[in-house]
Amino acid sequence: MNRLNQLFDTKKNNLLSIYFTAGYPALHATLDIAEALEKAGIDFLEIGFPYSDPVADGPTIQHSSEKALENGMTLHLLFEQLKDLRKRVTIPILLMGYVNPIVQYGVERFCKKAAEVGVDGIIVPDLPMYEYEAMYSKHFAENNLSNIFLVTPQTSEERIRRIDELSNSFIYLLSSSSITGGNLQVSVNIEDYYKRVKAMHLKNPAIIGFGISDNKSFSKACEYAAGAIVGSAFVKLLGTDGYLDKIGRFVISIRP
């Protein structure tokens, strides 16, 4: 059982996760930001590793990836930075990014390094489910890493149930099929989608992401899922002066 499993065993609702891009706004800010977020009271954390073609990301996270790459962030450097992760941060940590840099790094090697530095799970939006099952699932299992699958309003019930079978922590429920950064607007269709997934009584809890930016959208997401993930709104904060001192207030504005 890793830290994610322990978290979901002990806390069933109102969970808050924050996403940010490693190497942004400064190359060596990763652990400082992670530590500040834990002190502010979030439940778990997603650290994105930058990629030159982040197709699912909106302009805010795209900009952070571009800047991080310009700053010199690489997977090699990120793992070097994360060597001291567990000296400073105790909450569950996920890495999030695209499959291309993982394959270039070597999937088996990537999983081993992630486990060595204390990472609990991986989110790879463009990793096909069949590839994960056939080629990579053993590397995740051998290193006690959870693979987090994404579900959209267009995902069939059959696929959702298969995702639930393959998952062992939570399912990432996208509020839309669009890019990150939009505001969560719960239309009748989206509400039906949330209700449909909730009525399936999956064994894994759902966490809603994309468009969570304030207390209103966070609270709305928590009506249908165990919690929510804030990404673009936090990355915007990191682009301002004195961002470390603002993190506590930001978290309180999402979940008072």
Active centre residues (catalytic): 46, 57
Is residue 21 within 8 A of residue 48, CB to CB? The reply is yes
Helix axes of 243-254 and 30-40: crossing angle, nearest 10 degrees: 40
Q: Which residue has the tokens 């987090």?
A: 148
Going across the sheet that includes 150-151, the strands are 146-148, 121-123, 93-96, 44-48, 15-21, 227-230, 206-209, 171-174, 150-151
The secondary structure of 178-194 as a DSSP string is: S-TT------HHHHHHH
Beta bridge partners of 147: 122
Return the CA Rg of the chain.
17
Whole-number Å distance between alpha carbons of 150 and 137: 16
β-bridge partners, 171: 206
d(CA 16, CA 117): 23
H-state helical runs in 51-203: 59-71, 75-81, 85-88, 99-105, 107-117, 129-131, 137-142, 157-166, 188-199
Please count the other Cβ atoms lying within 10 Å of the Cβ belonging to residue 183.
14
